[in-house]
Amino acid sequence: MDGTTGGHPHFEHEIRVTWGDCDPAKIAYTARIPWFALDAINAWWETHLGGDGWFQMELDRNVGTPFVHMSLDFSAPITPRHRLICQVDPIDLGNSSIRFRVLGRQDGVLCFSGEFVCVFIVADSFSKQPVPSDIRTIVEPLLRPVGA
């Protein structure tokens, strides 16, 4: 799982963790962490889709990508002492679904790892659709099979 093999660098999204993200244990509240991960996935789309995140995908492209699954393991507390660097990679592209891996690190320490599965839908009818071909063309070269 070398981060730089494969011909392209990993995508990283930086999050400024704040006082308001923390609970009385002085670490980011657990329920904020999926939110951070989703912010990172949205930023991944913005970067790779010409500036279009979920908002523009839905309103301008009529493409929705609702989540059907998420799984996270938490390995170290997250604090405002360092920026949270979220590495995002698509790790599988099915006929009508996409799986992302998000790794969150602070100061080089892995804080959480997660996997997230979204399905592609026609936004205005909420009906399943195959991955749109322009999106498939963009995503395929970015795929990072886990363990490869």
- Nearest distance from C-beta of residue 133 to a second copy, angstroms: 23
The one segment of 74-82, 84-92, 97-105, 132-140 that binds a second copy by CB under 8 A: 74-82
Binding a second copy by CB under 8 A: which of 20, 50, 141, 147? Answer: 20
Element of type H or E holding 45: helix 32-48
**Which residues lie below 8 Å from residue 26, measured CB to CB, with a gap of 6+?**
79
Q: Which residues pair with residue 109 across a beta bridge?
A: 106
Cα separation, 129 vs 95, in Å, equals: 9
- Nearest distance from C-beta of residue 54 to a second copy, angstroms: 4
At 8, list the tokens: 């392209």
Contacts with a second copy by CB under 8 A lie at 16, 18-20, 22-27, 29-31, 34-35, 38-39, 42-43, 53-56, 58-59, 64, 66-75, 77, 79-81, 123, 126
